[in-house]
Amino acid sequence: MITEDSGLLPEGQNGRISITIRAGRTDEQKSEMRERLSALLAQRAGVDATTISATSRDIDASFTMEGGALLPEPGAAEEAAWKAAG
């Protein structure tokens, strides 16, 4: 159990990242995202990146809301307006 917020994992404990993202990214993009987030967590936690596991799960845009609105499907005409609204 962590009793202080040092940001470091206790010795012998591994980190885990679970990412839920809007479907539509390539396997390469998802792999890069998992690798980058794992490296960032490892750096922050003061551990080797090999002690971090990361998984990603795709969710259809029609099941995902942001700011109270359903997200557009990747490549849909509405996506450009959604990105511009940022």
CATH for 13-61 (2.60.40.1180, 3.30.429.10, 3.40.50.170, 3.40.50.2300): 3.30.429.10
Question: CA–CA separation, 41 vs 38, rounded Å?
Answer: 5
46 in Cβ contact with 7 (< 8 Å): yes
What does the H/E/C string look like for 60-76? CHHHCEECCEECCCCCC
Which tokens is 6 given?
């040092």
- What pTM does this model have? 0.70
**Residue 29's closest CA among 61, 71, 74?**
74
Interval 16-60: pLDDT, tens: 899 999 888 899 999 999 999 999 988 888 888 888 999 999 999
Question: CA–CA separation, 18 vs 72, rounded Å?
Answer: 23
Per the model's pLDDT, the better-predicted residue between 60 and 85 turns out to be: 60
Q: Looking at residue 68, what is its pLDDT?
A: 87
